[in-house]
Chain A
Amino acid sequence: GAVVSQHPSWVICKSGTSVKIECRSLDFQATTMFWYRQFPKQSLMLMATSNEGSKATYEQGVEKDKFLINHASLTLSTLTVTSAHPEDSSFYICSARGWGGSLKETQYFGPGTRLLVL
């Protein structure tokens, strides 16, 4: 149990385009999902907390108009990087919070999406 998927796993795009990344909890419902960014040789930095049916909560320094988050259902959250620039190139990882049953009350991570903006 507690499988989280992300799509796509790799994306290369031109500067100025928008990129959408999907995060799905496959076998459990997640009222809360988290989006992280990881630069090479650095740790994970939380970008925002995504709550089903409400607006995301962004961390300080993260532009909400640039990183649009939608959590339309209990199993899907999307992150859209709008007007991407080379400095947005990074590894984006989502996690979903498990609740109840056999799930530990912690975050389960997706496999990540590598974004390269040319």
Chain B
Amino acid sequence: EDKVVQSPLSLVVHEGDTVTLNCSYEVTNFRSLLWYKQEKKAPTFLFMLTSSGIEKKSGRLSSILDKKELFSILNITATQTGDSAVYLCAVEVLRNTGKLIFGQGTTLQVKP
């Protein structure tokens, strides 16, 4: 059975800290791994990773994929209170029309 597991499930840090969120997966027919940020509404897209070892970066956020060890990390440096959200990892599988399998999410709270 396809599975995506995120850790930790929740995290509390102070502004300025650096955090690393983890996502491991076991799926057949891997196509890509995606990271989303979810606040009150629907998820907003952060990164899509398809190749191992290539870091994707957007401001203070970065992510990398290891297809051999089947995991990805999302780093946030110099955290701000606006980074508080649920971070979702999802894996897209090749079969059918590209179904997304989501992890449980990591709830990040950044305190002032």
Residue numbers of A with Cβ under 8 A of B are: 32, 34, 42-46, 49, 51, 57, 93, 95, 97, 104-112
Contact = CB atoms under 8 A, between A and B. Distances in A.
Contact of A44 (B45, B88, B92, B96): B88
Closest 3 CB pairs of A and B: A112-B42, A109-B42, A43-B102
* Band of interface residues on B: 20 to 34
Chain B binding surface SS class? strand
B105 A43 contact: yes
Which of B36, B45, B100, B104 has the most chain A CB atoms inside 10 A of its CB? B100
B43 interface: yes
B41 A111 contact: yes
A42 B42 contact: no
Contact of B100 (A42, A46, A57): A46
A117 B43 CA distance: 24
Contacts of A105: 98
A56 B98 CA distance: 14
Contact of B99 (A49, A104, A108, A109): A49
A46 B97 CA distance: 13
Interface of B: 32, 34, 36, 41-45, 48, 88, 90, 92, 96-105
Nearest to A97: B98
A44 B32 contact: no
Contacts of A111: 41-42
Contacts, number: 52
Given A34-B100, A51-B97, A97-B98, A109 B48 contact: no
Contact of A110 (B36, B42, B45, B103): B42
30 contacts: A32-B97, A34-B99, A34-B100, A42-B104, A43-B88, A43-B102, A43-B105, A44-B90, A44-B100, A44-B102, A46-B100, A46-B101, A49-B97, A49-B99, A51-B97, A57-B96, A93-B43, A97-B97, A97-B98, A104-B45, A104-B48, A106-B32, A106-B48, A106-B98, A107-B98, A107-B100, A108-B45, A109-B36, A109-B45, A111-B42
A109 B97 contact: no
A111 B40 CA distance: 9
